[in-house]
Each structure stands twice: as structure tokens, then as C-alpha cells.
């Protein structure tokens, strides 16, 4: 990798943009040159708050020194904005989901391929220490052949904390499209692609009350299901149950459990990078899995609840920047994101149409990060962390 960092722009200066700007500041390989937004005031405010440049969207896309543009707009705008970025001659890295339909995602990947440009997509949490340690353990056959498992992400929803939560409760929102990318990406990284999906869905509450920000107290209509139960069959033959809901106050279920012929594995929350997995061989006591040899497990963020977590969001962009320079595939790829999106949308479609859906897309598992071996990625965060993300 050359000494000079790759210049990167950001379109979309909302809640998540701060984490990206802080994350990028920890890498010597990328530099956030400017930020833009459809709302000029939002981009100017973020530019001065975070000490990065401001640009109008067209200015950013015409800037020859910028190679990657990160799309942090709302899901319904992802396809339009990412297409504009590709047409502007830049590689794009999008927040999840890649788009809100496979019909939009395929031409986007096609256009990028025709122009020799990369499409990358969040989540990149599967690159974190906990998920890479689980991947190594499964690939080493520690729990034998994976027969099945369970995944669940259950909570009360997003309106309590997000100042503009409308998009979560509209078509294109809901728990499956919002949090599902973390879980399905983690499962595809661990087990490979999904072959079939069947699901049911319901809506727990017709309205939600915004709990923070300028609009606190305002009621918004719920226009998408907020609870899903699904069954996934992987190409490997493994079967998983998946429950996703924003109608649950409290529960005692693990994020991901994997059952193999020789043991079971508890995979930590795929929204973060560094929690501790647990494994049991043939029904013995649960043993903590040592993740310390893997990169990106360091706890660097305090959640509102006080919980300390590892959050290295943006390492997917850094891996893409390095991959472009090194002429190798990047890990958080458009192909992976398209397959994940296909599975997520199939969950909704199966529930709406009461039928089993065969998944049309497939993808390769992203290459793993071996402990201590992938120095180019390992060195990315060797600079001191500038502080906690609020």
C-alpha cells in the first residue's frame, strides 16, 4: 500500500456518519476528504463538528482526488445515490441494506463491473475478532458438521432513541431489513449461502411514539411488519430458525446458536466486533473461546446502556481501499450484500405469500482474516483511538 491514504467522500450526514468519520480517522489507509448531504445544512454542520471538508454532492463526484464514496443515506435512497456515485466514476461503499430490492441491486453491480469499479457494503462486523474466531473454529471442524441452529434479534424498536425513526417503520424498514443484514451476513460468513426461506410476520402496534430529539412525542404510523419468524435452509444443508422483532420488551435468547455433530457454538451479537463466543464439545461445559489473536476485538465504545463494546465500523471500507490498491477482492462485497438482501427480502415475501422461497442468488464466503497473518488489514488500526463514540 502506498504511503498516502486513499481519499474518500461521504454522502449522508445523519446519525451513523459520525462513527464512520471517527473510524476512518483511526486508519492510515483512508482519509475522509469531504462530506455531502441532500440537506446542505446537515453536511455543513457535520463538516465543522468533525473537522472534515464540506462539498456539494456534484462537487464531490467531480473531485478527481476522491476514489471511494461512502453512501450513508437512508435505505430507500441507496440505489439512486450509489448509482450516481458509480456514474461519477467512484467506487461505492454503502451502508446496509445494499438497496431495498434485488431489482435495483443487480443493475448497480452490473454497472460497476462494466466500469471497473468496486461495490462494497456494510455490515463489516463479520471481520471482527469474535466472528473471525467463530469462523476459524467452524472451519477447523471443532463442532463437526453443522446441522442447524437459531438466530434471534428481539427488542422494543428504534423509535425510543432515533430522532427521525420514520424510515424504520415504512416499507424498506422493519427489523429484518434493518438488523437482518448483521445476522444473515454473519451466518453466510460462517456457513455459506442460503438456499430456501419460509416465514410468517405480524405487526405488534399500529403506531409508535418518537422518544428523542425535536420530534419527541410525535406519533408515527407503522407501515411494515415488526415481527418475523423464519426458517432458513443453507446450501450446506444446515437448517436455522430466525426470529426478528421490534415488539419484545425483554427475552433470554442468544443472538446466534450453532449446533454441530460434535458440539455447539454460541456466536455473539453480530452488531459488534469483539464479544466472547462460547463452545461446548459433545455436551460438556461451555468454554469461552479466546479471540485475542484476532484483529478488531478491542472494546472502544460505550453504549447508552453503559455496555462496553468493540465497534470498528469502517474496516470494510479500509479493506476495500487496500484491496483496490492490491488488486485483490474485498471482503464486504456487493455480491455478498446482494445475496444477503435476497435472503432478507425473501423472508418478507414468504411471509406475505405464505410459501417457501428458493433464493435465486448465491455467493462465495468472504476470505477469512487469519490470526496475525493478514498484516495489511491487521495494521489498519494500530494508531491510538481518538475517543469514545457517544
Ligand X SMILES: NC(=O)c1ccc[n+]([C@@H]2O[C@H](COP(=O)([O-])OP(=O)(O)OC[C@H]3O[C@@H](n4cnc5c(N)ncnc54)[C@H](O)[C@@H]3O)[C@@H](O)[C@H]2O)c1
Q: Does residue 38 belong to the site contacting ligand X (CB under 6 A)?
A: yes
Q: Does residue 73 belong to the site contacting ligand X (CB under 6 A)?
A: yes
CB of 160 to ligand X, least distance (A): 13
| Candidate list 6, 8, 10, 13; residue touching ligand X; CB under 6 A | 13
Total Cβ atoms within 10 A of residue 247: 16
8 A C-beta contact, residue 225 and residue 135: no
Q: Does residue 210 belong to the site contacting ligand X (CB under 6 A)?
A: no
The C-alpha atoms of residue 75 and residue 168 are separated, in whole angstroms, by: 9
CB of 264 to ligand X, least distance (A): 29
Q: Which is nearer to ligand X, 14 or 204 (CB)?
A: 14
Which residue's C-beta sits nearest to ligand X? 14
Site string for ligand X, 160-199 (x = CB under 6 A): ----x-------------x---------------------
Choices 72-80, 135-143, 229-237, 363-371 (CB under 6 A): range interacting with ligand X: 72-80
Pick from 33, 36, 42: nearest CA to 15: 42
The DSSP secondary-structure symbol of 275 reads P
Q: Does residue 269 belong to the site contacting ligand X (CB under 6 A)?
A: no
HEC secondary structure over 129-172: HHHHHHHHHHHCCCCCCEEEEEEEEECCCCCCCCCCHHHHHCCC
Q: Within a 13 Å sphere around the CA of 119, how many CA atoms are in the beta-carbon half?
A: 29
Q: Which is nearer to ligand X, 13 or 154 (CB)?
A: 13
CB of 37 to ligand X, least distance (A): 5
The C-alpha atoms of residue 18 and residue 261 are separated, in whole angstroms, by: 44
CB of 76 to ligand X, least distance (A): 8
List binders of ligand X among 321-380 (CB under 6 A).
Answer: none
Q: Does residue 120 belong to the site contacting ligand X (CB under 6 A)?
A: no
Q: Which is nearer to ligand X, 173 or 225 (CB)?
A: 173
List binders of ligand X among 77-96 (CB under 6 A).
Answer: 77, 81, 95-96
CB of 12 to ligand X, least distance (A): 4
The C-alpha atoms of residue 96 and residue 22 are separated, in whole angstroms, by: 19
CB of 228 to ligand X, least distance (A): 17
The C-alpha atoms of residue 128 and residue 275 are separated, in whole angstroms, by: 9
The count of residues interacting with ligand X (CB under 6 A) is 20
The C-alpha atoms of residue 108 and residue 111 are separated, in whole angstroms, by: 5
Instruction: Collect all residues with Cβ–Cβ distance below 8 Å to 53 and sequence separation of at least 6.
Output: 33, 34, 35, 47
List interacting residues with ligand X (CB under 6 A).
11-16, 37-39, 42, 72-75, 77, 81, 95-96, 164, 178
Amino acid at each position: 500500500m502506498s504511503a498516502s491514504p486513499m481519499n474518500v467522500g461521504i454522502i449522508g450526514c445523519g446519525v451513523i456518519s459520525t462513527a464512520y468519520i471517527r473510524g476512518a480517522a483511526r486508519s492510515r489507509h483512508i482519509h475522509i476528504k469531504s462530506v455531502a448531504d441532500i440537506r446542505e445544512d446537515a453536511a455543513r454542520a457535520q463538516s465543522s463538528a468533525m473537522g472534515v471538508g464540506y462539498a456539494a454532492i456534484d462537487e464531490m463526484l467531480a473531485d478527481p482526488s476522491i476514489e471511494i464514496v461512502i453512501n450513508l443515506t437512508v435505505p430507500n435512497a441507496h440505489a439512486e445515490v450509489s448509482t450516481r456515485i458509480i456514474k461519477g466514476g467512484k467506487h461505492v461503499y454503502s451502508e446496509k441494506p445494499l438497496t431495498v430490492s434485488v431489482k435495483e441491486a443487480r443493475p448497480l453491480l452490473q454497472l460497476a463491473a462494466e466500469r471497473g469499479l468496486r461495490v462494497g457494503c456494510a455490515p463489516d462486523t463479520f471481520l471482527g475478532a469474535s466472528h473471525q474466531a467463530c469462523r476459524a473454529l467452524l472451519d477447523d471442524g471443532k463442532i463437526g458438521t453443522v446441522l442447524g441452529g437459531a438466530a434471534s434479534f428481539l427488542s422494543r424498536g428504534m423509535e425510543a432513541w432515533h430522532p427521525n425513526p420514520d424510515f424504520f417503520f415504512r416499507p424498506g424498514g422493519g427489523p429484518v431489513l434493518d438488523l437482518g443484514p448483521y445476522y444473515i451476513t454473519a451466518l453466510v460468513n460462517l456457513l455459506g449461502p442460503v438456499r430456501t426461506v419460509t416465514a410468517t410476520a405480524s405487526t405488534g402496534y399500529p403506531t409508535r411514539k418518537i422518544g428523542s430529539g425535536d420530534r419527541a412525542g410525535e406519533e408515527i404510523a407503522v407501515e411494515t411488519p415488526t415481527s418475523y419468524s423464519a426458517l432458513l435452509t443453507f446450501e450446506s444443508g444446515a437448517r436455522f430458525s430466525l426470529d426478528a422483532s421490534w415488539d419484545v420488551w425483554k427475552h433470554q435468547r442468544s443472538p446466534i446458536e450453532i449446533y454441530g455433530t460434535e458440539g455447539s457454538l454460541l456466536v455473539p451479537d453480530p452488531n459488534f466486533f469483539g464479544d466472547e463466543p462460547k463452545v461446548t464439545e459433545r455436551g460438556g461445559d461451555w468454554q469461552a473461546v479466546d479471540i485475542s489473536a484476532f484483529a478488531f476485538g478491542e472494546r472502544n465504545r460505550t453504549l447508552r446502556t453503559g455496555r462496553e463494546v468493540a465497534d470498528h465500523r469502517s474496516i470494510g471500507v479500509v479493506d476495500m481501499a487496500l484491496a483496490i490498491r492490491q488488486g485483490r477482492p474485498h471482503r464486504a462485497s456487493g455480491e455478498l450484500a446482494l445475496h444477503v438482501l435476497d435472503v432478507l427480502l425473501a423472508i418478507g415475501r414468504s411471509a406475505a405469500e405464505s410459501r417457501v422461497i428458493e433464493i435465486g442468488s448465491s455467493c462465495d464466503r468472504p476470505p477469512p482474516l487469519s490470526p496475525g497473518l493478514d498484516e495489511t488489514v491487521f495494521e489498519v488500526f494500530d494508531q491510538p483511538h481518538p475517543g469514545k463514540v457517544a
